[in-house]
Structure 1
């Protein structure tokens, strides 16, 4: 699984303040994943805190499939309808395991 932190570079912590970090985890396969995250004081090189991030990912349910015939070396553009199944506004991320074959464009 790919994991990233934001900010992804050293940063200062104000005394007594709470600092929020964003952790993004994007599993590329189904399974269980564990990542250890350490906070280190760079001045004294001491460990401030550690966290164990545990995640379980499952293969998503396939709700639609498409069959495309694309001429060799020409490529093709196809429109695919996508609707929000929830009763609240949601943001979706489109991703592919074959970025060399498939790309996404926004309207």
Structure 2
């Protein structure tokens, strides 16, 4: 294997890892959002996992993935009573159609 092939293989593996982590963290956050009685530790986990999922999608995702990540972060803060305007666009809305 040449250096170029090794570099390409490493990048492909890194991309697959970012995708896998983005999906797993996103799904983990939804599990915590749906949990009626979260502990303080689970609340922290939910916040950090939402941001981590968005981070991983920033490395390999589409604009739709990034929008869903922003929306999920906003949803987490909303569920916790800490809502703000950031990420208020639903994940399937076009960038020019921000709902208010």
Give the TM-score of the pair, scaled to structure 1: 0.25
The structure with the larger Rg is 1
TM-score by length of 2: 0.26
- More helix per residue: 2
